[in-house]
Amino acid sequence: MATIVNAGARLDRLPISSFHYRIFWLIGAGMFFDGYDLYVGTTVLGATLQSKFSTLPQNAQFISLTFLGMTIGAFITGFLGDKYGRRFTYQFNLMIFGLASLAAAFAPDMETLNILRFVMGLGLGAEIVVGYSTLTEFVPPKSRGRWLAFMAFLVVSGLPVTTLLGTLIIPTFGWRPMFIIAGVGALVVWYLRKNLPESPRWLESQGRTVEAEALMQSIEKEAATAGPLPPPASPKPAPSFSLASLAKPPILQSMVVGSVVLVVINTLIFGFVVWLPQFFVQQGLTITRSFAYTLVIILGSPIGCAIGAFSSDYIGRKPSIIGSSVLVIIFGAIYATFGATTDPALILSIGFLLIVSIYIQVAILFGVYTPELFPTEIRLRANGICNTIGRAATIVSPFIVLSLFQTYKVAGVLGLMIGLLIIQIIVVYLWGIEPRNRRLEELETATGGTGGPSGKAPRPARV
């Protein structure tokens, strides 16, 4: 009989070493350029409009095609990642948005740029799904929350970096270099990522035990330089999961939780945060002061990610999600009541605290919690479907936000956000699991299996 690899337990007992940092930066570099490319339209579209390269309807199409591509990309990559592996899928989608970004720099007209933006969106949506899920399978449970939340920090940092580079580059060199930076950066990371190993957990789940064992021995050899390795936990019978598991309890409850939280956080970002400058202008501020206010408030985003990184491990995922949701409701209600005030101190302080609270959730929900909800065999498919539903919300939320704002001003928009957050609190409290300090295999055993495609019983441990 074949010897069990026990990859999960062996990975989880490793001390933090150069191996973990290398994996983090190989994945994180691609995630950073994903964040950069996602927000590049913030600066590029203003320049294309000013130079008559585009019109307002074409700019709207640029945004729409971005999210349409991301929605489709998130869905497809889940199936590719579970079938062909994390490493293959990661390299494939990085090459897609890298080459498309380079091509976009030479687009002869806005119609071509919009088509290329859709292709970029396919890669951007895929990168988010496979990046977080891959890192989840490498880092130990005691610090998994911090590692994944700081990955979200890298993605979020794409917004201020894009804004800064746009300010420095576009007035002198135009908007095209912004896409060259994204394309070259992505392709450099693609080359470096040839050294990114496949997930031993995934290899073992596919029955490729010889490859998983060889890879584990290589990883353990490198990690041993950081100190002696403790013995791994004893292997236990592993449940079997298939695509059909997603439609049956208890995985079905996790699918609901994952979909709800991603709909809520995407709506918070693209239904409120990115609208801040326009809200300020409509409240009577000049465009210059509007951008200044937005910049100050947005500085709360990395602080929120940092708080989420530590709170997810120290107090747990569920308390952090529920607690930050309550804070957003409180600060949102205050902002809706006093947001139209001309007192800069009040606008900036409440707005800053509101953004901090939102980005605590950004770090935990995108980076930490959703990938942990699902077993290794179906992690990318489940996470991809949840991200597809969450991204799809961004297609309709701008129209809902616009209607609410025109009728009820900022209070109407924040009323929608508060309603969604109340739903999120209820769903996470009732159906959410708590992964803090728990091994991924322990979470799989807790959820049980529904059998493979042929209806097989949970697979026994191989001894």
**Predicted local distance difference test score (pLDDT) of residue 282:** 65
Q: pLDDT of 273-292, one tens digit each?
A: 766 766 666 666 665 566 67
- Check residue 231 and give left, alpha or beta (phi > 0: left; psi -120 to 50: alpha): beta
Is the same domain home to 183 and 263? Answer: no
> Do 159 and 76 share a structural domain?
yes
Tell me which long-range contacts 335-339 makes (C-beta under 8 A, separation of at least 24).
335/410, 335/414, 336/410, 336/411, 336/414, 336/415, 337/411, 339/279, 339/283, 339/410, 339/411
Whether residue 20 sits in one domain with residue 164: yes
CA distance 96 to 179: 14
**Average pLDDT of every residue of the chain:** 86
Looking at the structure, tell me whether residues 73 and 222 fall in a common domain.
yes
Instruction: Write out pLDDT tens, residues 391-447.
Output: 888 777 777 887 888 888 888 888 999 999 999 999 999 999 999 999 888 887 766
Please compute the mean of the pLDDT values over residues 122-136 and round it to a whole number.
Answer: 90
Rounded Cα distance, 63 and 54, in Å: 13
Least confident of 13-22, 425-434, 450-459: 450-459
Claim to verify: residue 281 and residue 232 sit in the same structural domain: no
Q: What pTM did the predictor assign?
A: 0.84
Predicted confidence at residue 372, as pLDDT, reads 92
Q: Cα–Cα distance between 157 and 146 in angstroms, integer?
A: 16
AA identity, residue 91: Q
Instruction: Clarify whether residues 104 and 244 are in a common domain.
Output: no
Among candidate residues 238, 258, 285, the one where a domain is terminated: 238
Same-domain pairing of 229 and 303: no
Task: Report percent pLDDT > 70 for the chain.
Answer: 90
Residues 462 and 356 in one domain: yes
- Its domain, for residue 133, covers 1-238
If you average pLDDT over residues 81-105, what whole number do you get? 92
Length of the chain: 463
CB 31 within 8 A of CB 236: no
Q: What is the CATH number of the domain that holds 259?
A: 1.20.1250.20
> Is the per-residue pLDDT at 454 higher than 60?
no
**Which contacts of 170-175 are long-range, i.e. CB under 8 A and separated by 24 or more positions?**
170/43, 170/44, 170/47, 174/47, 174/51, 175/43, 175/44, 175/47, 175/48, 175/51
Same domain flag for 228 and 256: no
61 contacts 115 by C-beta, under 8 angstroms: no
| 191-237 per-position pLDDT tens digit | 988 888 999 999 998 999 999 999 999 999 998 887 778 888 877 76
Closest CA to 387 of 136, 65, 67: 67
Is residue 112 domain-shared with residue 259, that is, in the same domain? no
Q: Alpha-carbon dihedral of residues 426, 154, 339, 286, nearest 10 degrees? A: -150
Q: Which of 206, 223, 238 corresponds to the end of one domain?
A: 238
Task: Assess whether 142 and 34 both reside in one domain.
Answer: yes
143 with 202, same domain: the answer is yes
Q: Cβ contacts of residue 191 below 8 Å, gap of 6+?
A: none
Q: Give residue-wise pLDDT tens across range 303-326.
A: 999 999 999 999 999 999 999 999
Q: How far apart are CA 155 and CA 302, in angstroms?
A: 10
Of the residues 238, 262, 286, the one at which a domain ends: 238
Residue range 348-398, pLDDT digits in tens:
888 899 999 999 999 999 889 999 999 988 999 999 999 999 988 877 777
The total number of structural domains that make up the chain: 2
Query: What gap in Å lies between CA 376 and CA 394, rounded to an integer?
Result: 28
